[in-house]
Amino acid sequence: MDCPDPPPAAVSRRFPDGPTSVVAARRFVRAALQGAASDLVGTAELLVSELVTNAVLHARTEVEVSVARLDGRVRVRVGDRRPGRGLVPQRLSPYAGTGQGLALVEKLASRYGADGGDAGKTVWFELWHDGPPPPSSGWETAVPPRPAEGTVTLVDVPTALEAACRQHRHVVLRELTLAASAGDLLGVAPEDLAAANDVNNVISAGVTAALEVPVPESGLRTLPLPLSPDAVPAVRALRRVLDLAEERAREERLLALPALPRGRAFQEWLFDEIAGQLTGAPPAAWTVVPREPEISSAELVPWDVGQVRASRMPTVAADEGNRIVAANGAAADLLGWGPDDLVGRRLTTLIPEHLRERHTAAFTSMLLTGRTRIVGRSVPLPALHRSGRLVPVRLYIQTQETADGRTVFVAQLVPRATTFLDGPRAPGRIREAATGEPDGGRSPGVPEAGARAAGARGGLSALDRLTLLAELGAQLNNTLDLDEGLQRAGRLLTERLADWCVVDLYTADARVDRACVVHRDPRALRPGAYEGALSEVSEESRGPLARVLRGAGPLLLTDAPQRGRAGSALDRSYVELFRELGAGSAVVAPLRARRRIFGALTLARAPGGRPFTEDDLTLVDDLVHSLALGVDNARLYQDTRSIAERLQRSLLPVLPEVEGLRLAARYAASSTTAQVGGDWYDSFVLPGGNTAVIIGDVTGHDLDAAIAMSQLRSMLRGIAVDREEPPAEVLRRLDLANHSLHREATGTCVYGLVKGPAHGPWELTHSSAGHLPPLLVTRDGRARYLDGGAGLLLGMDPDAARATAHDALPAHSTLLLYTDGLVERRDEPLDDALERLRRHAAELAHEPLDVFCDELLIGLGADSVDDIAVLAVRPTPPSSGRDREGPTGHDRDGPTEG
């Protein structure tokens, strides 16, 4: 593929090292090709522009461009004086905006290549209209990089994240180099910038070459990266330059945006691994490096729209333009839309009006600063239904990278009745390996544990069988979340007994849901391709799964089900599953509990291994009994939890309408415990005209706590209305009544009365039974706690003296009553937590009351391990236009759950 030297008809010109040479080279080519076909001239201009740009950015030497016209062909050569810097074909996405020079040459040139020598290197291309191509073309003769003296091993590299970070590095370095050429160094040392460009090209070339080695489809790769030990100073210079560029990007002095937290974390890990291994440290996998919640993520593969569509959890994905790119049926049903109706709309379509402006500001801030507020955290928020009503959810957002390097924000809207005990699931439920699992099953070879299990399946001893049964029961009993328990059980079964397993369960509407698919080698599973809703068991269903769901089995399948025998949609999906995952034999067994069948377990072994036999049916029958019991218990727990939550929600009051007062309340169940507890709030107007405001917390997080809370709430209302006594006396009588209960409750409470006419002035009289003090925030942003009226908590000493405090409530101030879930955190002094609340509330002093409450939950309630109740009161004279709350000034129809 050697390109001959330019013939005498060629013209050439040398250009200095600098950005202006790019424009000058284009003009030179246009003049040299005057009279040639216009399309060839335009293509030549484009390609020479890209190649000269590469030389200016990376070679940083004088550039020589030569142009020749031969027999209807156009030949252009671009040479530099740096032979040691080889070509780096990036293979970046069409969206990259950088690194496309060589890719454009490949796509547009009729023939291309590169030559090298001691004095420099030359990249060339030819263009013509007709005729067969020459026998060879490509970069085969490109200048090889200098042999490295060492190799860095990058373990568990997420390919999509790596591509995004590599793309971002090139964009930033390109902009810094062009700025430096124009005389603006932006604080970057010239020698650091030169070293950073050089070593970045070496790293990119090494990673690109390693990624071209074919391996089974996987989101994680272990990559060898040849580097010389003397590259460490250059890598440190690259890190300094990128850190400075991040600062400049946050100052909006660059066109490039800052990297998001996960990208920054990956880049730090990459540089740590290179510098560490070149100085003798052992490799550390990306997947085992501890990270912050906003950085840690369960996505191990490039994002795919199928993950969202297959997820059973309400899931919506948005791009960097804040537009919805995917939504599944569960999210659409939850919010009153069709999935296709949501795609293309702004994400603000699903956000209540009073939060839209703040969402837009926060999203813009995230892109401009690279700092996130709620990514990776479980945040209680209201979502907007299509009808206009608010839907209480916990929002869980994770970032994912597409295969071409873009970022997608995947949001799960977890309804109150289905909040996960162990945190929300990633779309498609692709989980990181548990601690201690070798490589997480993600290294190129088969995991050792899986290999040992495969060799042990020749037969299980009686002790092994008993151990397997005990461990299977433990996998489901050790978690209250059904999905997580099934995944754990599936991993155990594929380690000990099968190559892959599937659990199918009946849904409430008699359809079938593929709840769990686990393979011994996780790379064999395409994310989101197998789990999800299936068809119902119809009269035409005659396949093995349908038979088992009707009560047959366990069934031994010596061959995979045949496609020609599939009589229904359920049968066809089952055949397709076997075809994609492969099976030489299988056992299908029903899951029975309480005299009914609610699902099926499929265990399969790959062809070539020991097949299942009749002898295995007894063991599988025992296994499904244990599995069915665990599934049934988990479902019963979820049903009980849902009933308890509905009970508690029904006890939350409708706030009164009071002239001159605005009221708003929020309740959010814990993100980690059962969704029921003793937190409560109440407000009502007494016969004398005063407004009662109450917040309380009964000890416990179970149904008993909710029942005790309902009893105290009812008794307090009755006592307060009966005599309209001072708050201290009301709490004293409530404590006496509490001691009369069969099982008296222990808890805290604040009972207060807001007094004053509609136009003010207003006064709060209150008494506290061991509860955290109310917070008063004035309109000018001053905030203080109302510490008066403190006394013993309820259930301790009904005869203890209690005090009543009196405090003025200025117009447009905000009185905040709250439970400890809003502030208390492990290993943090309470005084620090209260100070954080005081500062945060003071910053929100001017916000409408709904925004005030929701922002408190966003800022302080994320990942709370306790329930949260909030009641806010704002005195607002009717004639005042200074505090317009909008159409949702407060919730008069019922409680709002964040």
Is residue 774 in some structural domain?
yes
Q: How many residues does the chain have?
A: 898
Tokens 């328990």 identify what position?
485
Same domain? 358 vs 450:
no
DSSP assigned state of 784: E
Residue 729's pLDDT is 94
Which of 610, 640, 670 is the C-terminal boundary of a domain? 640
3-state DSSP call for residue 513? strand
Same domain? 175 vs 278:
yes
Same domain? 693 vs 817:
yes
Residue 813's pLDDT is 96
Is residue 144 in some structural domain?
no
DSSP assigned state of 439: G
174 pLDDT above the threshold of 50: yes
Is residue 132 in some structural domain?
no
Residue type, 309: R
Across the range 570-576, mean pLDDT stands at 85
How far apart, in Å, do the first and last CA atoms of the chain sit?
67
Across the range 771-788, mean pLDDT stands at 95
Strand spans (E) along 232-322: 315-318
Residue 786's pLDDT is 96
Which CATH number do you get for residue 60? 3.30.565.10
Give the DSSP letter string of 22-91.
HHHHHHHHHHHTTTS-HHHHHHHHHHHHHHHHHIIIII-S-EEEEEEEETTEEEEEEEES-TTS------
Query: Could you report the per-residue pLDDT of 703-728, keeping only the tens digit for each?
Result: 677 778 888 888 999 999 998 899 99
149 pLDDT above the threshold of 80: no
777 pLDDT above the threshold of 90: yes
Same domain? 416 vs 479:
no
- 458-462, 483-487, 497-501, 844-848: the lowest-pLDDT one: 458-462
3-state DSSP call for residue 149? coil
What is the distance between the alpha carbons of residues 700 and 350, in angstroms, rounded to a whole number? 34
DSSP assigned state of 794: B
3-state DSSP call for residue 529? coil
Between strands 896-897 and 661-668, the pairing is: parallel
- 462-466, 492-496, 498-502, 768-772: the lowest-pLDDT one: 462-466
553 pLDDT above the threshold of 50: yes
854 pLDDT above the threshold of 50: yes
Same domain? 632 vs 669:
no
Residues 6+ apart with CB under 8 A from 106: 89, 112
Query: Could you report the per-residue pLDDT of 788-822, keeping only the tens digit for each?
Result: 999 999 888 888 889 999 999 999 999 999 999 89
Question: What is the average pLDDT score of the chain?
Answer: 80
3-state DSSP call for residue 263? helix
What tokens appear for 482 in the block? 């059904």
Closest CA to 789 of 725, 869, 731, 716: 731
If one compares 76 and 668, the residue with the highest pLDDT of the two is 76
Query: Could you report the per-residue pLDDT of 129-139, keeping only the tens digit for each?
Result: 875 565 555 66
Same domain? 783 vs 728:
yes
Which of 364, 399, 429 is the C-terminal boundary of a domain? 429
**Domain ranges, residue 233:** 150-288
696 pLDDT above the threshold of 70: yes
If one compares 818 and 546, the residue with the highest pLDDT of the two is 818
Across the range 665-678, mean pLDDT stands at 69
Residue 702's pLDDT is 66
Closest CA to 805 of 836, 763, 766, 863: 766
Same domain? 545 vs 571:
yes
Which CA distances in Å does 309 have to 332, 403, 530? 11, 18, 11
Which CATH number do you get for residue 877? 3.60.40.10
Residue 523's pLDDT is 67
Which CATH number do you get for residue 600? 3.30.450.40
Is residue 699 in some structural domain?
yes
Residues 6+ apart with CB under 8 A from 482: 515, 631, 634, 635, 638
Same domain? 489 vs 576:
yes
Is residue 385 in some structural domain?
yes
Is residue 141 in some structural domain?
no
Residues 6+ apart with CB under 8 A from 597: 506, 549, 550, 551, 590, 591
Which of 573, 606, 640 is the C-terminal boundary of a domain? 640
92 pLDDT above the threshold of 70: no
What is the distance between the alpha carbons of residues 673 and 23, in angstroms, rounded to a whole number? 64
- 305-309, 359-363, 419-423, 712-716: the lowest-pLDDT one: 419-423
- 86-95, 633-642, 809-818, 887-896: the lowest-pLDDT one: 887-896
* Residue 356: its H or E element: helix 353-369
pTM: 0.65
Same domain? 636 vs 658:
no
Is residue 831 in some structural domain?
yes
Q: How far is CA 461 from the centre of its chain?
A: 43
Q: Give the chain's domain count.
A: 5
Give the DSSP letter string of 688-734.
TS-EEEEEEEES-SSHHHHHHHHHHHHHHHHHHHHH---HHHHHHHH
Query: Could you report the per-residue pLDDT of 397-441, keeping only the tens digit for each?
Result: 888 877 666 788 888 887 754 433 333 444 433 333 232 333 333
Same domain? 626 vs 707:
no
Same domain? 442 vs 421:
no
Query: Could you report the per-residue pLDDT of 200-219, keeping only the tens digit for each?
Result: 888 988 888 888 777 655 56
Closest CA to 767 of 686, 694, 674, 871: 694
HSE, side-chain direction, 13 A CA sphere, residue 880:
17
What is the distance between the alpha carbons of residues 699 and 749, in angstroms, rounded to a whole number? 11
Same domain? 890 vs 819:
yes
Neighbours of 432 (CB within 10 A): 17
Is residue 871 in some structural domain?
yes
Across the range 220-236, mean pLDDT stands at 89
